[in-house]
Amino acid sequence: MRPIDVGASATHTHLVEAADCATNWGNDLPVLATPVLLWLAEITAMRVIEDHLDEGEMTVGYGHTATHLAATPQGWTVRLHARLTRVDKKLLHFEVTAEDDRDVVFSGEHVRAVVDRDRFVERLDSKALAGPVPR
């Protein structure tokens, strides 16, 4: 990975559509679902570092600590902001926040791990070929 400064940041804007709503996750309210918000946080963090990865590298989600603070209705826009707060060898730590037109709706930390893409795919293929362990 090429050098990147702590404090580097990126933003992502997303219009909440029906496919993003909690109604698809067993809830009866048409609001932005927490799993979708976590996915958007990952996308925003990936944007911070996308131009700093070496050829053959990729990042994978490693951890989340997050609080979903307020509901965002379908049809509203949510804006996410990710800022790199720490680099610990191959682990990249991000502060991520999101807001809609009224509230801060999300706050948390997302951690990504830098991995070798070919090695990751080899391990995945090997796991898939071996199949699940009988229980």
Q: Which residues form the catalytic set? A: 34, 42, 68
Residue 69 vs residues 33, 90, 108: alpha-carbon distances, Å = 12, 30, 10
Is 131 assigned a ligand-binding role in the annotation? no
Angle at 75 between CA 106 and CA 83, to 5 degrees: 30
What Å distances lie between residue 45 and 59, 112, 119, 124, CA to CA? 10, 8, 22, 23
Task: At 109, give phi and psi (nearest 5°).
Answer: -120, 140
Closest among 64, 71, 79 to 23, alpha carbons compared:
71
Residue 112 known to bind ligand: yes
Question: Which residue ranges make up the annotated binding site for substrate?
Answer: 61, 112
